[in-house]
Amino acid sequence: MVRFQVVLIFFLCYVAAPPPAATGSSTNKLVDKICNQTSNYTFCVQALYSDPRTPTADAYGLAFVSFGLAYLNATATQDHIAQLLNDTTTAANHKRRLKLCQHDYSKAVSALEEAYDDLNSETFFQLAKLAGHAAAAADDCQSAFKGTHFSPLATMNYSLKALSNICVIVSKLFTAGIL
Ligand SMILES: *[C@@H]1O[C@H](CO)[C@@H](O)[C@H](O)[C@H]1NC(C)=O
Ligand SMILES: *[C@@H]1O[C@H](CO)[C@@H](O)[C@H](O)[C@H]1NC(C)=O
Ligand SMILES: *[C@@H]1O[C@H](CO)[C@@H](O)[C@H](O)[C@H]1NC(C)=O
Ligand SMILES: *[C@@H]1O[C@H](CO)[C@@H](O)[C@H](O)[C@H]1NC(C)=O
Ligand SMILES: *[C@@H]1O[C@H](CO)[C@@H](O)[C@H](O)[C@H]1NC(C)=O
């Protein structure tokens, strides 16, 4: 019986312990430095460490990680918007607002694609501006739902904005002439 309890406690501790990536005890100093400058440190650390390259990434690697995350987030939201627009139970009034968001997110996706091309060609000067465009698109979409209690994209809008802001900070590592 005692033995069973010991095993059980061991098992519970092991299972309850979050994986290192999610604890915020980061192993990459640059991640700390970047996330420290964002409005949500926890979000930033969790997002960046969701990529296996992050622990050993330099600034250039982290730029690929952060722009990649923002891009995936924006395209996933685009798909979600397309589904809502296609849903016959979505009210016409909401569809009108969703169409604005669809336009916003396509602008965000283009900006992030351009940023990705820039990164591939090691062209850094307009990265921060492009990331800013993606963040602005998230804001713009959210404002389309102002005054309604319908905000199907609120979490996604938060994600894209937060991820874009990480991109802005990473971009500034290049243009500040630190590297
Ligand atoms: C993060 O910011 C705090 C306060 O702004 C500062 O004390 C700390 O040294 C910073 N950490 C890093 C890793 O930059
Ligand atoms: C910060 O991010 C975490 C993790 O994504 C989230 O749970 C939390 O609500 C966020 N905090 C704020 C103030 O938005
Ligand atoms: C966007 O990213 C956040 C944090 O990485 C994640 O929690 C959320 O599910 C993502 N949303 C989409 C639509 O990909
Ligand atoms: C829209 O709905 C139709 C019918 O339910 C479905 O066949 C089609 O694949 C949907 N398109 C999208 C983009 O979800
Ligand atoms: C959506 O984004 C806007 C602008 O960034 C923000 O003010 C709002 O709080 C966000 N909504 C949620 C639920 O995160």
User: Tens digit of pLDDT for each residue in 61-89?
Assistant: 999 999 999 999 999 999 999 999 999 99
The rounded percent of the chain whose pLDDT value lies above 90 is 64
| pLDDT band at 139; cut points 50, 70, 90 | confident
- With H, G, I as helix, E, B as strand and everything else as coil, classify residue 138: helix
Q: Examine the pLDDT at 21 and tell me if it is beyond 50.
A: no
Find out whether the beta carbon of 41 lies less than 6 Å from any atom of ligand 2: no
Give, as one character, the DSSP assignment of residue 56: G
Q: What is the pLDDT of residues 97-125, one digit of tens each?
A: 899 999 999 999 999 999 999 999 999 99
pTM value is 0.78
The mean pLDDT of the chain is 84
Atom of ligand 3 nearest to the CA of 43: 4
Expressed in angstroms and rounded, the spacing between residue 10 Cα and the centre of ligand 5 is: 41
Q: Of all protein residues, whose CA lies closest to atom 13 belonging to ligand 5? A: 154
Query: Which pLDDT score is estimated for 151?
Result: 66
- Do 175 and 124 meet the contact criterion of CB atoms below 8 Å apart? yes
Find out whether the beta carbon of 83 lies less than 6 Å from any atom of ligand 4: yes
Which of 140, 158, 159, 160 to mutate to test ligand 5, by most ligand atoms within 8 A of the CB atom?
158
CATH architecture of 2-17+27-175: Up-down Bundle (1.20)
Query: Which pLDDT score is estimated for 57?
Result: 96
Instruction: Give the other-Cβ count within 10 Å of 21's Cβ.
Output: 18
For 156, residues 6+ apart whose C-beta sits below 8 A from its C-beta are 73, 76, 77, 80
> Which of these ranges, 3-17, 30-44, 52-66, 163-177, has the smallest mean pLDDT?
3-17
* Angle in degrees, CA 32, 25, 55, rounded to 5: 65
CA distance 29 to 37: 13
Atom of ligand 4 nearest to the CA of 86: 1
Query: Which pLDDT score is estimated for 176?
Result: 74
Mean pLDDT for the stretch of residues 29-51? 96
From residue 132, alpha-carbon distances to 15, 78, 115, 149 in Å are 40, 18, 11, 27
Report which of 67, 82, 37 is spatially closest to residue 134, judged by C-alpha positions. Answer: 67
Query: Which pLDDT score is estimated for 177?
Result: 60
Q: Which one of the ligands is nearest to 85 CA?
A: 4
CA distance 41 to 60: 20
